[in-house]
């Protein structure tokens, strides 16, 4: 048990309530941790009771000694494995700690006394002091008291000195002291910083004690100022009996505990340095007092505290040369007044005046070089040890110091460490040109991807026309008319794609409208069955946006998908942090901080200037991540519109795999307020296979319709059993090299890749084909140590490397080998396909030198047509096919920790393409057969995985299931029947808010209506109100008195509800007897201005009043009044301008 303070131990329940440190020898780091760090204490976890759902449950967990790094890591690791990591987490705070916060008491008490001395330039030093009187009011200096004639005064002390010593005495204040005194202000209350106070010290001490830090360490300065009579009496001609009084009239004395240091200073002062005999007398007198131990109330103060004050200087580094030069002079130089430093002819003479260099041989270059070296050594010994800098920064500062002193002494100039301005302007202009060129390249790449997927490019504008389009000179064309029916497309699919493109075109046209009637432009999200052409339709919308002169950026959460659309990985574009512990606000702040770094200037420029952002497979984001993008764009663009005013286009399929962490994407309130949803229902990918279409339709149905439906179950199992192929193992002869292998788990995919290397290497050796197997170099060392890495031997660590690193243990190099990148590199990105045309030499592989590969241009398919026959194309052919020659290097070091070890893997940033997970194929079209493992060891566990794996191919006969047939079919049915707590809510949102592009209404749909009270799985008080400033007309109901209601309008619903509940909403809702209020229902009105919202508010109020007169004032009836108003408005406008109605209350109330 640690040491405790007995009284506190008896009175409190804390074990470690007191820590006494008497010696910092070897424990300074320990002391700093315990003073600076905050122990987390008990962790508090809050969640809803899982049994009743009506009671908040609070659980307490003890966190052991979180100030120690290793202990904190173990506690955090244990917590992340617990169920509480998914819930809100806080910290139990004792009452005494809260009391300290409220009363402003210091958290840390120290017996050390620090004196802060600001050594920045005089104009940057703070001189204002704030204090409160006993009534809590701010004490202000009497600024009305001015000198009568408005002229500056030399001060009372200066005048008394002239009277006592005569005007020509050396004991009068110098001209620079008088200027410093008058610089403190013209009122009676003057303000000075510590450097100025040092310049105003007694004249008798100017030469004896010329070092700034020593002055505040050795002398005790009275706070009270002496009056004129006291100063006159204290100043005497005999310097050994005269008081020390500074220019402000304050008396000074030496601290008794400082006398040993003072003696050392006086003994080192030469009499020749003292320009007056009286100073020599004073010096000898002080030495006599110190050596004899004589008591002297005139010069020596009996300080009760035996600890001397510790001067703390500003932290100024050589990165600002002129400021650092002044800092060194004030910190270690001998200075009379600060103004004296400005009165010399050169900086070299100033250094000599402060005795930082000898005042001799100032024209001798060799001597000056020695002076420079000596000065650097003094700075290293006397300046840098008192600054918080790392060893790496120390190296930089020493080099800059040497350059600074060489330049000052040898050239009489301060070196320029920044870029010369004449070059800076050219570089800035060049940087702007590079950013403009980056947009042009990005636009060109996007157009190449779009035109590569268009079957009838002759009906679209040419690439040159679109590239040259501007907002003032757009390309005039209609994308709806240009859409021609594809060869493998039905008429129904073609018609609904045209309707969907029409929605996107209207959104772009509305966004481009700069004059006339403008309103908020809603984003467009296209969703529907796999293979319905969602991405294709959106890319046509992207093409139309580019042709109107807009800057369009394409992105996706999956790197593979971002390549397929010619875009950027979402994490790279937004500089997103990967963290599960921080909230979205903090994560957005971290992303904004990273975006403003020089290395991310291009991404910042993209986000600041983008007009349209297309997000492919946006359903993979959680609602929290979606809101995070909104916060980042608002912050970057300094615009409070949703997403900073950027028009968002996107695709998603709610039935496929969504976010791993967080709530589903569709639950974001932004979907209700700022987006139009368009549904595509006719598959293009599987148009020739009606059986596969039926299997996909059943797999996507609501689990409520599947459970206990024997007819659908029989149909599904029969279709799957007849249409799909089934084999027992992947080694079955029917599974050939042309099969794309898919696994539910990454571990199985990695094992398949390892098996592929073994079997393929043996096959190549049999055929005498040149090949090389590249083995990784795994290494390990003790965690958190500086030990040298050695070859990894720990089995757990090697397993962790296989699990957490993308690079495999072995790679097989041969001519024609296909890989995918595991990192973003120069001219290629993560997951991009790389082709090996020539096998590297054994020497290059042994040294892990860079190797040459060819990067495939991104495409929407996963097959490699043209290279499967084994022929190796020439470099000219690859260039003709738009392949790019790239250099691939060893991946950067990524350490993996397990138990007490940490280690890494040295391997090329590649992996084979022979196998993949189901998740990774999402959004891809696989032309050819696919083999999917469904065994007890490796089987999907989510409904979305089943939907993805059976919708990648164009025909059902291309799907091969590896595993027991009966087990696989039953497992598939069980998985698609699983339901989450959000299923009903997502189905309702899609059914009621989506516009079916084929014009066929869903049975049971209630357009533009969300009955939140029916579909939200938790309590209504837990529903998140919209955060968008879209505009709302709302109905409030009093919780204590449900018969009292109120109709109002606002831009921000959540903020307005808080105003009503605090009595600041309106006079009608001000009485506290009706508080709190609950939002019973609201109309989302993004296209209405304030006047139109007020008109709807009045009509809703009038209908409610009529219902009240008729005795039909049930709250459910009042809610229906608002819904009727919404329906009447929507009948008069286009679908993309519809209002939406959300209900939060049961009619039974």
Residue 483 belongs to a domain with what CATH number? 3.40.50.300
What 3-state DSSP class applies to 639? Answer: coil
Residues 178 and 327 in one domain: no
Cα 1142 from Cα 1149, distance rounded (Å): 17
Asked if the structure places residue 1118 within a domain, the reply is yes
pLDDT in tens, 693-704: 888 888 888 888
| Last residue of one domain, picked from the residues 917, 939, 974 | 917
Cα 248 from Cα 192, distance rounded (Å): 10
Tokens 């009621």 — which residue?
Answer: 992
Residues 405 and 446 in one domain: no
pTM of the model: 0.62
> Could you tell me which residues come within 8 angstroms of residue 816 by beta carbon, excluding any fewer than 6 positions away?
835, 836, 837, 867, 870, 872
- C-alpha distances out from residue 1098 to 20, 900, 1035, 1046, 1107, Å: 70, 69, 12, 11, 14
Tokens 């290494």 — which residue?
Answer: 779
Residues 464 and 584 in one domain: yes
- C-alpha distances out from residue 343 to 125, 154, 176, 832, Å: 21, 20, 10, 66
Cα 610 from Cα 1047, distance rounded (Å): 39
Name which of 315, 314, 312 is nearest 118 in CA terms.
314
Residues 528 and 675 in one domain: yes
Cα 16 from Cα 254, distance rounded (Å): 40
Backbone region of residue 1044 per phi and psi (left: phi > 0; alpha: psi in -120 to 50; beta: other values): beta
What range defines the domain where residue 1047 resides? 1006-1143
Contact status, residue 118 vs residue 194, Cβ threshold 8 Å: yes
What mean pLDDT comes out for the span 1042-1056? 90
Cα 879 from Cα 866, distance rounded (Å): 14
Contact status, residue 352 vs residue 340, Cβ threshold 8 Å: no
Asked if the structure places residue 959 within a domain, the reply is no
Cα 644 from Cα 674, distance rounded (Å): 12
> Could you tell me which residues come within 8 angstroms of residue 26 by beta carbon, excluding any fewer than 6 positions away?
none
Number of Cβ atoms within 10 Å of the Cβ of 576: 20
Least confident span in 42-56, 654-668, 675-689, 888-902: 42-56
Q: What is the pLDDT of residue 128?
A: 54
Q: How many helices (H) and strands (E) does the chain have?
A: 40, 37
What mean pLDDT comes out for the span 110-127? 81
> Could you tell me which residues come within 8 angstroms of residue 997 by beta carbon, excluding any fewer than 6 positions away?
495, 496, 497, 499, 500, 678, 679, 680, 681
Asked if the structure places residue 463 within a domain, the reply is yes
Backbone region of residue 932 per phi and psi (left: phi > 0; alpha: psi in -120 to 50; beta: other values): beta
Least confident span in 196-205, 409-418, 1017-1026: 409-418
Cα 797 from Cα 904, distance rounded (Å): 9
Q: What is the pLDDT of residue 457?
A: 79
Instruction: Assess whether pLDDT exceeds 90 at residue 286.
Output: yes
What mean pLDDT comes out for the span 968-982? 85
Cα 620 from Cα 17, distance rounded (Å): 49
Residues 573 and 670 in one domain: yes
Residues 539 and 469 in one domain: yes
Instruction: Assess whether pLDDT exceeds 90 at residue 864.
Output: no
> Could you tell me which residues come within 8 angstroms of residue 306 by beta carbon, excluding any fewer than 6 positions away?
257
Q: What is the pLDDT of residue 213?
A: 93
Residues 1034 and 1092 in one domain: yes
Instruction: Assess whether pLDDT exceeds 50 at residue 862.
Output: no
Burial call 1130-1149: b when 16+ CB within 10 Å, e when fewer:
beeeeebbbbbbbbbbeeee
Cα 536 from Cα 504, distance rounded (Å): 12
What mean pLDDT comes out for the span 1039-1044? 88
Asked if the structure places residue 997 within a domain, the reply is no
Residues 771 and 887 in one domain: yes
- Residue 600 structure tokens: 């991310």
pLDDT in tens, 409-451: 988 887 766 555 655 555 556 667 888 888 888 888 888 888 8
Contact status, residue 254 vs residue 262, Cβ threshold 8 Å: yes
Contact status, residue 993 vs residue 671, Cβ threshold 8 Å: yes
Query: How do beta strands 1009-1011 and 1140-1143 pair?
Result: parallel
Strands across the sheet with 675-680, in order?
Answer: 568-569, 552-556, 612-616, 647-652, 523-528, 675-680, 994-996
Asked if the structure places residue 422 within a domain, the reply is no
Cα 1030 from Cα 1087, distance rounded (Å): 8
Contact status, residue 555 vs residue 603, Cβ threshold 8 Å: no
Residues 676 and 803 in one domain: no
Asked if the structure places residue 50 within a domain, the reply is yes
- Residue 940 structure tokens: 């999907």
What mean pLDDT comes out for the span 874-878? 85
Cα 379 from Cα 756, distance rounded (Å): 63
Which residue(s) pair with 887 in the sheet? 852
Which residue(s) pair with 741 in the sheet? 915, 931
Q: What is the pLDDT of residue 134?
A: 59
- Residue 206 structure tokens: 């100017």
Residues 446 and 506 in one domain: yes
Cα 893 from Cα 778, distance rounded (Å): 11
Q: What is the pLDDT of residue 184?
A: 62
What mean pLDDT comes out for the span 940-957? 83
Cis status, amide bond into 585, omega within 30 of 0 = no
Instruction: Assess whether pLDDT exceeds 80 at residue 391.
Output: no
pLDDT in tens, 288-314: 999 998 888 899 998 777 889 989 888
What mean pLDDT comes out for the span 593-618? 89
The maximal CA–CA distance of the chain, rounded, in angstroms, is 119
Asked if the structure places residue 935 within a domain, the reply is no
- Residue 299 structure tokens: 């010069």
Name which of 552, 576, 547, 665 is nearest 617 in CA terms.
665
Asked if the structure places residue 198 within a domain, the reply is yes
What 3-state DSSP class applies to 878? Answer: helix
Cis status, amide bond into 54, omega within 30 of 0 = no
Average of per-residue pLDDT values in the chain: 82
- Residue 525 structure tokens: 């999200």
Q: What is the pLDDT of residue 89?
A: 81
Contact status, residue 436 vs residue 375, Cβ threshold 8 Å: no
Number of Cβ atoms within 10 Å of the Cβ of 533: 25
Residues 436 and 506 in one domain: yes
Tokens 């042709």 — which residue?
Answer: 547
Cα 559 from Cα 549, distance rounded (Å): 27
Residues 669 and 754 in one domain: no
| Last residue of one domain, picked from the residues 902, 917, 932 | 917
Name which of 755, 1101, 1073 is nearest 914 in CA terms.
755
Q: What is the pLDDT of residue 149?
A: 43
- Residue 938 structure tokens: 């490796």
Highest mean pLDDT among 728-732, 861-865, 927-931, 1064-1068: 1064-1068
Instruction: Assess whether pLDDT exceeds 90 at residue 215.
Output: yes
Cα 269 from Cα 322, distance rounded (Å): 29
| Last residue of one domain, picked from the residues 103, 138, 156 | 103
Confidence class for position 108, pLDDT limits 50, 70, 90: low
- How many domains is the chain built from? 6
Tokens 């002759």 — which residue?
Answer: 458
Phi, psi angles (nearest 5°) of residue 896: -115, 135
Contact status, residue 484 vs residue 601, Cβ threshold 8 Å: no
Highest mean pLDDT among 482-496, 681-695, 928-942, 1086-1100: 1086-1100
Cα 75 from Cα 71, distance rounded (Å): 6
Phi, psi angles (nearest 5°) of residue 184: -80, -5
How is the chain split among helix, strand and coil, in percent rounded to 5?
45, 15, 40
pLDDT in tens, 339-360: 888 888 788 889 999 999 998 8
């Amino acid at each position: 048990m640690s040491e405790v303070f007995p009284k506190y131990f008896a009175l409190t329940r804390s074990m470690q309530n007191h820590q006494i440190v008497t010696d910092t020898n070897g424990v300074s780091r320990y002391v700093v941790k315990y003073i600076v760090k905050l122990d987390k204490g008990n962790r508090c976890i809050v969640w809803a009771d899982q049994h009743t759902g009506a009671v908040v449950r609070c659980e307490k967990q003890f966190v052991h000694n979180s100030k120690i790094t290793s202990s904190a890591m173990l506690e955090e690791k244990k917590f992340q494995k617990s169920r509480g990591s998914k819930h809100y987490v806080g910290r139990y705070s004792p009452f005494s700690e809260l009391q300290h916060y409220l009363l402003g008491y210091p958290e840390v008490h120290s017996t050390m006394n620090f004196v802060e001395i600001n050594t920045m330039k005089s104009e940057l030093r703070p001189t204002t002091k704030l204090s409160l009187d006993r009534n809590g009011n701010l004490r202000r200096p009497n600024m009305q008291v001015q000198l009568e004639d408005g002229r500056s005064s030399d001060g009372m002390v200066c005048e008394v000195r002239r009277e006592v010593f005569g005007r020509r005495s050396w004991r009068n204040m110098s001209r620079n002291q008088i200027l410093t005194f008058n610089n403190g202000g013209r009122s009676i209350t003057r303000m000075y910083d510590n450097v100025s106070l040092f310049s105003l010290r007694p004249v008798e001490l100017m030469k004896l004690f010329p070092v700034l830090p020593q002055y505040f360490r050795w002398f005790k300065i009275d706070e009270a100022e002496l009056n004129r009579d006291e100063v006159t009496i204290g100043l005497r001609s005999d310097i050994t009996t005269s008081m020390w009084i500074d220019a402000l009239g304050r008396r000074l004395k030496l601290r008794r505990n400082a006398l040993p240091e003072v003696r050392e200073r006086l003994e080192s002062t030469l009499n020749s340095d003292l320009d007056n005999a009286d100073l020599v007398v004073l010096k000898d007198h002080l030495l006599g007092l110190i050596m004899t131990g004589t008591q002297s109330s005139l010069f020596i103060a009996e300080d009760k505290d035996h600890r001397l004050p510790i001067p703390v200087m500003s932290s100024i580094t050589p990165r600002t040369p002129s400021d650092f030069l002044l800092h060194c002079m004030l910190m270690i130089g001998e200075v009379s007044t600060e103004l004296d430093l400005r009165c010399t002819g050169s900086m070299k003479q100033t250094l000599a005046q402060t005795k930082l260099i000898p005042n001799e041989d100032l024209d001798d270059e060799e001597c000056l070089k020695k002076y420079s070296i000596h000065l650097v050594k003094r700075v290293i010994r006397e300046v840098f040890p008192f600054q918080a800098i790392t060893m790496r920064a120390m190296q930089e500062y020493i080099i800059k110091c040497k350059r600074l002193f060489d330049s000052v002494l040898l050239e009489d100039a301060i070196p320029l460490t920044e870029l010369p301005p004449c070059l800076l302007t050219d570089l800035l202009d060049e940087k702007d040109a590079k950013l403009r060129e980056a947009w042009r390249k990005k636009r060109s790449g996007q157009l190449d991807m779009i035109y590569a997927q268009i079957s009838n490019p002759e009906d679209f504008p040419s690439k040159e026309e679109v590239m040259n389009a501007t907002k003032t000179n757009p390309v005039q064309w209609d994308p709806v008319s240009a859409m021609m029916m594809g060869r493998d497309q039905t008429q129904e699919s073609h018609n609904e794609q045209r309707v969907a493109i029409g929605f996107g075109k209207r959104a772009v046209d509305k966004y481009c409208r700069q004059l006339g009637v403008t309103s908020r432009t809603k984003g467009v999200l296209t969703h529907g069955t796999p293979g319905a052409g969602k991405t294709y339709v959106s890319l046509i919308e992207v093409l139309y946006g580019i042709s109107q002169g807009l800057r369009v950026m394409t992105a996706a959460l999956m790197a593979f998908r971002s390549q397929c659309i010619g875009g950027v990985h979402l994490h790279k574009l937004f500089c997103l942090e990967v963290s599960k512990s921080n909230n979205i606000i903090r994560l957005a702040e971290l992303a904004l901080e990273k975006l403003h770094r020089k290395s991310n200037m291009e991404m910042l420029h993209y986000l600041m200037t983008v007009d349209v952002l297309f997000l492919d497979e946006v359903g993979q984001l959680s609602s929290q991540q979606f809101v995070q993008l909104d916060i980042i764009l608002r912050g970057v663009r300094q615009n409070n519109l949703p997403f900073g005013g950027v028009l968002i286009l996107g695709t998603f399929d709610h039935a496929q795999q969504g976010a791993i962490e967080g709530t589903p994407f569709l639950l974001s309130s932004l979907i209700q307020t700022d987006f139009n949803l368009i549904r595509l229902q006719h598959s293009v990918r599987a148009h020739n296979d009606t059986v596969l279409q039926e299997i996909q339709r059943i797999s996507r149905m609501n689990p409520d319709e599947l459970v206990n439906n024997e007819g659908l179950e029989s149909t599904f199992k029969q279709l799957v059993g007849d249409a799909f192929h089934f084999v027992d193992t992947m080694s079955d002869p029917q599974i050939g090299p042309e099969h794309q292998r898919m696994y539910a788990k990454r571990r199985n995919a990695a094992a398949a890749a390892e098996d592929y290397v073994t079997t393929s290497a043996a096959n190549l050796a049999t055929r005498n084909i040149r090949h090389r197997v590249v083995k990784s170099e795994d290494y390990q060392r003790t965690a958190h140590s500086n030990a040298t890495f050695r070859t990894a031997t720990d089995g757990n660590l090697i397993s962790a490397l296989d699990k957490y690193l993308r690079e495999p243990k072995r790679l097989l190099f041969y001519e024609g080998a296909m890989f995918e990148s595991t990192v973003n590199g120069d001219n290629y990105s993560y997951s991009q396909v790389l082709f090996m045309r020539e096998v590297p030499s054994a020497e290059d592989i042994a040294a892990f030198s860079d190797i040459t590969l060819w990067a495939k241009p991104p495409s929407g398919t996963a097959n490699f047509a043209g290279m499967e026959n084994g022929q190796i194309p020439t470099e000219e052919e690859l260039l003709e096919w738009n392949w790019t020659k790239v250099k691939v290097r060893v991946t950067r070091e990524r350490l993996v920790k397990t138990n007490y070890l940490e280690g890494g893997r040295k391997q090329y940033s590649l992996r084979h393409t022979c196998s993949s997970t189901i998740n990774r194929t999402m959004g891809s079209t696989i032309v050819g057969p696919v083999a999917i493992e469904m065994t007890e060891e490796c089987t999907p566990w989510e409904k979305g995985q089943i939907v993805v794996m059976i919708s990648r191919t164009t025909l059902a006969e291309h799907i091969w299931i590896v595993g027991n047939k009966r087990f696989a079919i039953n497992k598939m049915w069980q998985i698609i029947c699983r339901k989450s707590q959000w299923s009903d809510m997502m189905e309702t949102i899609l059914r009621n808010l989506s516009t079916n592009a084929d014009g066929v209404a869903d049975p049971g749909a209630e357009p533009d209506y969300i009955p939140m009270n029916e579909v939200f799985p938790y309590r209504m008080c837990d529903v998140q109100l919209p955060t968008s400033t879209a505009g709302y007309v709302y109905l409030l109901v009093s919780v204590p008195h449900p018969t009292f209601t109120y109709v109002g309008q606002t831009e921000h619903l959540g903020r307005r509800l808080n105003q009503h509940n605090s009595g600041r909403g309106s006079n009608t809702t001000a009485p506290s007897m009706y508080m709190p209020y609950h939002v019973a229902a609201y109309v989302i009105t993004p296209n209405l201005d304030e006047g139109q919202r007020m008109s709807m508010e009045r009509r809703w109020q009038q209908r409610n009043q009529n219902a009240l007169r008729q005795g039909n004032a049930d709250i459910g009836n009042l809610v229906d009044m608002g819904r009727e108003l919404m329906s009447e408005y929507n009948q008069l406008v286009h679908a993309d301008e519809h209002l939406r109605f959300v209900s939060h209350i049961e009619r039974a109330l």
